[in-house]
Structure 1
Amino acid sequence: MAYDLLIKNGHVIDPDQGIDGLFDVAFADGRVAALAPSISDASAGEVRDAAGLYVVPGLIDLHTHVYWGGTLLGVEAERVARASGMTTAVDAGSAGAGNIRGLIDLVAPRSPVRILAFLNLSLVGIFVGDGVHVGEAEDLRFLDIPLCVGAARANAEHVVGVKIRVGASTTGALGAIPLHMAIRAAELAGDLPVMVHVGAGMPPRIEDIVDPLRPGDVLTHYCTPKENSPLTSRGQLRDCMIAAKERGVIMDVGHGSGSFGFDVARVMLESGLSPDVISSDVHMKCIDGPAYDVLATMSKFLVLGMPLAEVIRAATATPAAVCRRSDLGTLRPGAHGDATLLEIRKGAVVFKDSIGGSLQADRRFVPRGTVIAGQWWHDGAAAA
């Protein structure tokens, strides 16, 4: 047989290649082997019919916390993947230089889902959880640039950037100083991107968080409804947000348990600041709602009016580009053999944001199959 697996009759949306139409997709030796309007059933050892479904590159969640067993917030990547069709989880700073090997050597090999990581500038990573409210970056003794650089270089196969959480609850009196340190560490580690979390409270101001960011850096929680909002008191976009978008800062949703508001998201979409990346910020406090996973977050933006192909791009091609992984987020022959089969299921549903807001909807994404490394991995949800 020429191919190990063949997905037939699906509506392929691959923004990386500009493809949006009916195609068959074949996989061999863990890679995408062929993409064509018609591929013979006889050429594959296993054939799956995707008629009526969308076939997209394997979903990438750029902001997760999957250091399961290593941090209080960590969740199991496999659990998230079975519910969403995610094939790559990017852990957003759960681990720092002092404990990144645990994520890479102990957690990642046990997961069928690929795990990459933004390395926290803080040596200890994110250790907050029930009863623990000490910011990991409020003490300079935890912030060691040479250790961060060394760990990023030593684990370059897995580390895609540097993470820093900036806000009253995470950097305290240090304000934005840790952000500047994170940027310097990222430069020294190979000009990696920085992902910065916009804290709910001040100090510092959101301007002090956004203005230092470089093209390709990631502003996560960009739809935060909290005190340090990207909107003015009149509900208009702050100038710093517009300038950041214009210079190429990546706008990331990072839904989480407290960092996403429908009203802010609507203003962003109406103002032309659609998210570059749709991510969940899934962790122990939001895996059962309101964030759930990347697919649930994608559903919210679909219902808010973001075009289907752009929703798919924001969870495939763009996060792959942020990670500098051209072998991910695409169904281009030769790429890693990851794919997600999706249904847009009609029916009444109520979505929640992070502050109790509701969105009445008539459709949502449902995972109907997952391919990992060229093999059928999970059937997804049952047909309606």
Structure 2
Amino acid sequence: MFDLIIRGGILLDPRSGLKQTGDLAVNGRHIAAVGDLTDQDSVRSIDARGCYVTPGLVDFHAHAAYGISDFSLPADLVQIPNGVTSMVDAGSTGAADFEAFYRHNVVNSIMTIKSFLNVATIGQLTHQINENPDPAMFDTERIEMLVEKYKNQIIGLKLRQSKNIVGDLGLKPLEGSVALGERLGLRLSVHITDSPGEVSETLDRLRPGDIFCHMYHQKGNTILDDNDRVLPEVWEARKKGVLFELGHGAFNFSGKIAKAAIDQGFLPDIISSDLSMLSAFKAPTYSFTYILSELLNLGMSFEDILKRCTDVPARLMGIDHDGFLKAGRLADIAILRIVEHPVHYHDRYDNLYEGKHLIKVESTIKEGAQLYRAYDFL
């Protein structure tokens, strides 16, 4: 007898290519069986007919240093009801406060959390004062110590290079951060909204595996030319191996830019929320699955969306097995339903557009424990 059987759902696993209607059984913390389990008994059963049964979602960019950074949110509380079982903190803390974040937030989280370390010593501490991205002020010795001590936790470096942050330094923080990443063997994620210089100047400096974050922003130079075509240098950077991340956030997503790029086939490599106290449960961001719904309404397929918030970010976190919905894997599972519902979008750039579908989370299971269930999902 199994502890739990999820019956009759559409099983989707982008990593293994699984796509079939069937059942999934859980024993303890792990998936025990996948397939036709009609004749099998269980202590509990979930009727998932009409739903997608997927790996637990991965939000590769949010802020989880609640109580340390003003930017951060109580991650478990916000994310788990939205199908998220793993996430990455996107540089909320730097060398001075990372260990406090690790001990206070990461260790105590129900979710699996990995981290980007901000190159600026104080990280994104407060809305009142921007961090100092001057490479001359990098605490390189302490960064090296932290990267070695937490080598299974820190998966990259983070830089915000908006003009209001870097000022007269221009692209020097980017150059210093790339050099530091090369020295430490870490990828770099760059917040590129309203960056100095041309887009090509940033892309030329990024290495394969580095991340161009907030790809669909609409402030300053964007990934589109004057005719709303994706820039040739953007396509070339993708060929080179630069990764393009959504990083929606409260201020960094334009439906106009996204629609034009998606129509041309330029999709995100990574879908992420950039959720913080600025954006959680507030327009225009609300939640991770609300963002996924927005992309669905802008023309991405559900399967394309799912791959970019499970398979791809999980690999970047070091989860590199051959499939999630397989016997023996940890039972991190989201049960999702796509419902028809009119949605009216008004982004931070005053673009207006409509949608007709929402992705509803029916249940979230983390390591076999059902941590969220919609009140009307029986």
Please indicate the TM-score interval, normalised by the length of the shorter structure: over 0.9
Correspondence 1:204 to 2:197: yes
Moved more, 173-182 or 64-73: 173-182
Letter of the 1:71 counterpart = S
Q: Which residue number in structure 2 is paired with residue 32 of structure 1?
A: 31
Correspondence 1:241 to 2:234: yes
Report the alpha carbon displacement of residue 279 of structure 1 after superposing the two structures with TM: 0.8
Q: Which residue number in structure 2 is paired with residue 255 of structure 1?
A: 248
Report the alpha carbon displacement of residue 8 of structure 1 after superposing the two structures with TM: 1.5
DSSP 3-state at the match of 1:275: coil
Structure 2: distance between partners of 1:198 and 1:328: 33
Stretches (4+) displaced over 4 A: none
Report the alpha carbon displacement of residue 40 of structure 1 after superposing the two structures with TM: 4.4
User: Paired residue for 1:295, among 278, 286, 289?
Assistant: 289
Which structure 1 segments of 5+ residues have no match?
none
The verdict on how the C-alpha distance between 1:327 and 1:379 changes in structure 2, with shifts beyond 3 A counting, is farther
Correspondence 1:220 to 2:213: yes
Structure 1: distance between partners of 2:203 and 2:245: 13
Letter of the 2:132 counterpart = E
**1:109-128 aligned within 5 A:** 109-128=107-126
DSSP 3-state at the match of 2:336: strand
Q: Which residue number in structure 2 is paired with residue 232 of structure 1?
A: 225
Correspondence 1:278 to 2:271: yes
TM-score, normalised to structure 2, is 0.93
Q: Which residue number in structure 1 is paired with residue 10 of structure 2?
A: 11
Structure 1: distance between partners of 2:179 and 2:4: 45
Structure 2: distance between partners of 1:9 and 1:99: 47
The verdict on how the C-alpha distance between 1:95 and 1:10 changes in structure 2, with shifts beyond 3 A counting, is same
Q: CA RMSD in A?
A: 2.1
Structure 2: distance between partners of 1:67 and 1:40: 46
Q: How many residues align?
A: 377
Q: Is the 8 A contact 1:127 1:136 kept in 2?
A: no
Q: Which residue number in structure 2 is paired with residue 361 of structure 1?
A: 355
Q: Deviations over 1:34-71 (max 9, x none)?
A: 222336442x4332221111111000001101111110
Structure 2: distance between partners of 1:309 and 1:213: 29
Q: Deviations over 1:82-102 (max 9, x none)?
A: 441111121100011221112
DSSP 3-state at the match of 1:306: coil
The verdict on how the C-alpha distance between 1:92 and 1:9 changes in structure 2, with shifts beyond 3 A counting, is same
Q: Which residue number in structure 2 is paired with residue 373 of structure 1?
A: 367
Letter of the 1:22 counterpart = T
Q: Deviations over 1:219-266 (max 9, x none)?
A: 110011111211122322222211111122211110111111011111
Report the alpha carbon displacement of residue 141 of structure 1 after superposing the two structures with TM: 4.7
Q: Which residue number in structure 2 is paired with residue 349 of structure 1?
A: 343
Structure 1: distance between partners of 2:322 and 2:283: 28
Letter of the 2:218 counterpart = P
Correspondence 1:55 to 2:49: no
DSSP 3-state at the match of 1:240: helix
Letter of the 1:106 counterpart = H
Q: Is the 8 A contact 1:149 1:188 kept in 2?
A: no
Which structure 2 segments of 5+ residues have no match?
none
DSSP 3-state at the match of 1:45: strand
Structure 2: distance between partners of 1:225 and 1:75: 25
Report the alpha carbon displacement of residue 296 of structure 1 after superposing the two structures with TM: 1.1
Percent identical pairs in the alignment equals 27
Report the alpha carbon displacement of residue 116 of structure 1 after superposing the two structures with TM: 1.3
Q: Is the 8 A contact 1:84 1:367 kept in 2?
A: yes
Q: Is the 8 A contact 1:126 1:136 kept in 2?
A: no
